[in-house]
Chain A
Amino acid sequence: MSLRLIDGSEAVAEAALSAGLRFYSGYPMSPATDLLEQLAKKLPQRGGVCINADTEIEGVNMAIGASMTGFRAATGSCGQGLSLMQEAIAEVALNETPLVIFNMARSQQDYFQATRGGGWGDYRTIALAPKDVPEAVELTQLAFHLSDKYRVPAIVYGDNILARTLTAVDTSPIAFEPLPPRDWALDGTTGGTGRSKQIWTWGVGKHNTPGPGPQLHWRNIADKFARIAETEQRWEAGFHEDAETMVVAFGTAGKFVEYVVEDMRQEGWQVGFFRPITLWPFPEDALERGCKTARQVLVFELNAGQMIDDVRISLGKRVPIRSIGGISSDDAGINIGDRMDASYIRARIIEAMEPVS
């Protein structure tokens, strides 16, 4: 293992290259710009292509084209840029083209965007939210693996702190289970054979090789997403076995919460934490198990209340669920506002655990 002190953007870029990234197309927007700059430098040096797209829409569609030919491809921006890509993200879900999308986000206000999406049709998007740079390296490679394995879009949802924090990290390739050959990919060779390939959201197929048609094609895809939901949930939890209060948080905020909870435990507070790593599929059952002894569940997220919906879906009305986060932003609209702070989180947890007398 070799460690290098690099920032999160470079680490994610290196991890993507370790995963076999061959094509990236992006459009600058802070704090995702650094990732584009890194890949613009590194990809051509390693036999790949990085194109400065002229819009996020063009960027994501270029990446789709590259991926359709059987090479690992990605695009990225922050949530604002991903807004423009929603149609394309739905499209790759429905035409079964692998695609990794990096959201080096300005805020946690993109939770709905990452987990619900804004495209048309019955689709889901795998959404991985790392808490720090080493986990981002791992989840970046996992995103490529899962996207390829299931032929679905996968989002890596980082943020400004992740993108710009220097960490000593190992970015070497991670070995995953081997995947079948990409026999669906277009390489141009099947023309004129009577069995030429097609990639199409409607699943119509060709005259000689008819597809299932839209209804069955979309049902098959919905079934696939149901299988992913069952098998790909990931999470981290701590001190939950006997916790009276559980705190749920994701991404960098989850790391802050973990730190605060560890501290409070040493002082004797009966508090635990739960952090979904896959925002979709949301680890519903694990959260329910993790909150078995809890008498209240607090949700710390830096938005007006988005993930709290999934917490409610997971836990129902068995236990009171309250938000202790909220919108938190600096003047640039980047969420290092006053609430992204351990002392703030600690105060809110204590306030919730000690009823006003």
Chain B
Amino acid sequence: MNYVDTTYPPVRESRQVASFKPALLQTEEHHLCPGCGEPVAIRLICEVIQELGLAQDTISIFGHGCYGAFMSTLDVETTLCLHGRAPAVATGMKRMRPDKLIWTMQGDGDMVSEGLAEVLHTAARGESVTCFMLNNGVFGDTGGQMTAASVVGQRTKNTLEGRDPGYHGFPITIGEMVAALPGSAYVARGSVHNAGSIAQAKKMIRRGFERQMANAGFGLVEILTMCPTGWFLPTKDGPEYMMESLGSVYPLGIIKDVGAEQPA
């Protein structure tokens, strides 16, 4: 394996050749781990808000997870709410300000473990808000423990021999659960493991926001994000591992899109 040798200063000074900082980030600095998928997902959300011209018409509600690092850099109105409760907070906001783009940022630990009731009831009520779930199947922020979305066999710090369904139960596929509720309008699952999936995820984010602004009903966009730290893997192995493990339990694609044009 090739590693960059950091014991010596570089021979030549490094030089920035391109910037991918979205306009809606106040700085590109963040302290998430190398190989993390979450900054990619957040970049896409920033880009879509900008492209839709909604930067000055949006409020975001963050749950608890590594993505909370962007609370201080995202240049849209933000609040960080109690663990798991973001869809409830979003409901109160949307009912008071129905013309605004209201969206939540949660992880699988926040949404599926701590906040399952909130997301299901918000979907059932058909609230026109968009919830994002960055799914890496692990509590990343606390260092790699099992969530309700960890897949069978997944090794975490509290399932050292791998998630055993006989002992730890089975993962919850929240996307399919939400899609089964009549109140949901748009449910999709994307990923950020390669360029093609990133482009697809961005389309899902855009569609989710557009359906919210059309007042169509509840929207959930789940995005599989790499967490090599929480999976105890070398950084470069994150994408492949993710699609082999999470990808087999959480298939990518549009799960539900009420109002989409049907193929002739």
* Interface residue ranges, A against B (CB under 8 Å): 22-23, 25, 49, 51, 53-55, 57-59, 61-71, 73, 87-88, 91, 95, 186-194, 196-202, 204-208
Contacts and interface: CB of A to CB of B under 8 A. Distances in A.
Nearest to B85: A61
Interface in B14-56: 23-24, 26-27, 29, 49-50, 54-56
A72 to B, nearest CB: 10
Contacts of B58: 188, 191
Contacts of B75: 191-194, 196, 206, 208
B77 interface: yes
A110 to B, nearest CB: 22
Nearest to B61: A65
26 contacts: A23-B95, A49-B95, A54-B117, A55-B117, A57-B85, A61-B81, A65-B89, A66-B93, A69-B97, A186-B77, A188-B101, A189-B56, A189-B77, A191-B24, A191-B49, A191-B58, A192-B23, A192-B24, A192-B75, A193-B75, A197-B77, A199-B78, A199-B79, A200-B71, A200-B80, A201-B80
B73 interface: yes
Could you tell me the dominant secondary structure of chain B's interface residues?
mixed
Nearest to A49: B95
Contacts of A186: 59, 77, 79, 93
Given A58-B88, A61-B88, A198 B71 contact: yes
Contacts, number: 150
Contacts of B157: none
Contacts of A53: 88
A66 B26 contact: no
Q: 6 closest Cβ contacts across the A-B interface?
A: A65-B92, A192-B55, A66-B92, A191-B76, A65-B89, A61-B88
Given A191-B55, A204-B72, A66 B96 contact: yes
A22 B95 CA distance: 10
B72 A49 contact: no
A95 B80 CA distance: 9
Nearest to A97: B79
Given A189-B56, A196-B75, A205-B72, A49 B96 contact: yes
